[in-house]
Amino acid sequence: MLDVKEAAQRASEYFAGLYAEQSLSDVRLEEVEQAAHGKYWLITLSYPVLPHFNLGKKEYKVFKVDAKTGEVKSMKIRKLN
């Protein structure tokens, strides 16, 4: 079973692999949560929006990581209310 640090690392690596060509910087861990009775970790990462569009704004992605295998099962946009 993955602990929270390992799950966050898997989500970060997955994110970096998908967005490698965009060279996003300042990716931050925002939230962690166990889901489905410990079967998954929900990991929220944030990154700044390109400065010339929205100065100081962030976007958020939630990653569903299998707690047993470490496989990232999904990535979704997280909207703040």
Structure confidence at residue 52 as a pLDDT band (50, 70, 90): low
pTM: 0.88
C-beta neighbour count of 32 within 10 angstroms:
15
- Calculate the CA 24 to chain-centre distance: 13
Q: Which two tokens stand for residue 40?
A: 């998954």
Domain 4-78 has CATH 3.10.450: yes
- Decide if pLDDT at 45 tops 80: yes
Mean pLDDT of 2-25: 91
Q: Are 48 and 58 in contact (CB under 8 A)?
A: yes
Q: Regarding predicted confidence, which is higher, 56 or 36? A: 36
How many other C-beta atoms are found inside a 10 Å radius of the C-beta of residue 11? Answer: 26
Specify the pLDDT at position 15: 95
Whether 77 has a pLDDT exceeding 90, the answer reads: yes
The arithmetic mean of pLDDT across residues 2-27, rounded, is 91
Report pLDDT for 26.
85
In sequence order, the β-bridge partners of residue 68 are none
